[in-house]
């Protein structure tokens, strides 16, 4: 053991970042990317094991102590409108839960204080406006939700910010609404609940489709993040969950649905056309950081046709951010840090589906350097959201 050297997270990530120093986007090959990252990943994970679940430092001198002083910024925190709560994922929950998700006043602030959260970026609860097949109704519903949220934020701007709900049933209307929300209402970006249903209830339109390219151009021009949040697959497309309906939502189906959507965006060449896009995934990446190497490995084999010019891992590292929402598991966080680096990870809770105190108790006991802890809980969000 005397010969074992434990590096701080920051030092290990600096080594990795040096090895993975960004190259010209059109010069790195898929195989070259895979080979260049193998050594870095192996070195970064050398001290990540069941016996060393938390990120380690040599003597503990660089470890931040638990602190519930409100300094955290949380990005995946939900609210509901009283008029539509019955059509949302909040409907089956208890009266206390409904009180929590409707409260954007003193009760919400008290809960934030309890979890050491200074600022919440609020978003309309799942499935939002994506579930409304009628285009005009979806557009009107998004505008009502955003106006309501803007009023609530205006009453307490030091504690609340907003992500826009977007009617992606109409890409042009969605681009216009995002522009209005960012430039007039002061929102930080958008949070969208997966695919949109258009015209008929049994439809699913994903945002890699060609008609969404002008919308993505607007997102890049505004320089704001697009948070891709989960939703359940359509009832007609749940054959894999027959007899096991508990799997279709948060425990499993959410991650499958959202990681698949993210891969569709990557594989479509979207990030080659708009290389400055910033997409956020919750729940420690919806399983993608764990699986992304194999995705690239199989794509590199002969016979597969893909529009993307770069490896999927490169898009994950350059165009995606990942939050801790609802996934308070240190080995999983270690994997995310190893795959994308500390500058791409942000703190979130997923309130009120998750408890702010539980999230804080987990995160505050992880052995992180002061620098890395500050990045995840605050400074990364400040930079991403232009706060």
Active site (annotated) includes residue 67: no
- Helix or strand holding residue 77 (H, E): strand 72-79
Please pick, among 47, 170, 296, 350, the residue that the annotation labels catalytic: 350
Instruction: Tell me which DSSP letter residue 80 carries.
Output: -
Residues in the chain, total: 387
Residues 6+ apart with CB under 8 A from 313: 33, 34, 37, 292, 293, 296, 339
Three-state DSSP at 73 gives: strand
Count Cβ neighbours within 10 Å for each residue of 342-368 and write b for 16 or more, e otherwise. Answer: bbbbbbbbbbbbbbbeebbeebbebbb
Q: Which of 71, 11, 16, 47 is nearest to 347 (CA)?
A: 71
Query: Do residues 363 and 328 lie in contact, with contact meaning Cβ atoms separated by under 8 Å?
Result: yes
> Measured between alpha carbons, how far is 368 from 250 in angstroms, rounded to an integer?
28
Burial category of 327 from C-beta neighbours within 10 Å (exposed 0-12, middle 13-18, buried 19 and up) = buried
Positions annotated as catalytic residues are 350
């Amino acid at each position: 053991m005397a010969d074992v050297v434990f590096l701080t997270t920051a030092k290990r990530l600096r080594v990795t970042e040096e090895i993975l120093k960004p190259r010209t986007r059109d010069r790195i090959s898929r195989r070259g990317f895979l080979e260049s990252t193998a050594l870095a990943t192996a070195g970064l994970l050398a001290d990540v094991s069941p016996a060393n679940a938390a990120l380690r430092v040599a003597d503990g001198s660089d470890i931040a102590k638990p602190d519930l002083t409100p300094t955290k910024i949380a990005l995946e925190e939900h609210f509901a409108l009283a008029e539509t709560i019955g059509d949302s994922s909040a409907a089956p929950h208890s009266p206390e839960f409904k009180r929590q998700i409707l409260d954007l006043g003193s009760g919400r602030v008290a809960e934030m204080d309890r979890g050491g959260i200074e600022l919440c970026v609020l978003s309309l609860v799942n499935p939002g406006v994506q579930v409304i097949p009628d285009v005009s109704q979806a557009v009107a519903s998004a505008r009502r939700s955003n106006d309501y949220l803007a009023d609530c934020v205006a009453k307490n701007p030091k504690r609340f910010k907003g992500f826009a709900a977007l009617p992606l049933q109409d890409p042009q209307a969605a681009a216009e609404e995002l522009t209005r929300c960012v430039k007039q209402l002061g929102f930080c970006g958008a949070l969208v609940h997966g695919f949109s249903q258009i015209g008929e209830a049994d439809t699913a339109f994903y945002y890699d489709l060609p008609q969404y390219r002008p919308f993505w151009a607007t997102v890049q021009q505004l320089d704001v993040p697009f948070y891709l949040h989960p939703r359940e697959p359509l009832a007609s497309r749940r054959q894999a969950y027959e007899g096991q309906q508990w799997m279709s939502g948060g425990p499993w189906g959410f991650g499958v649905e959202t990681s698949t959507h993210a891969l569709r965006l990557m594989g479509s060449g979207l990030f080659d056309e708009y290389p400055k896009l910033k997409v956020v995934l919750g729940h420690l990446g919806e399983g993608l950081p764990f699986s992304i190497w194999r995705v690239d490995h199989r794509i590199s084999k002969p016979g597969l046709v893909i529009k993307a010019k770069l490896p999927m891992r490169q898009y994950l590292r350059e165009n995606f951010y990942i939050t801790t929402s609802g996934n308070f598991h240190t080995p999983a966080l270690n994997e995310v840090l190893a795959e994308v680096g500390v500058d791409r990870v942000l703190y979130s809770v997923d309130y009120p589906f998750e408890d702010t105190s539980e999230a804080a108790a987990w995160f505050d006991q992880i052995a992180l350097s002061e620098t890395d802890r500050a990045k995840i809980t605050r400074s990364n969000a400040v930079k991403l959201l232009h706060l």
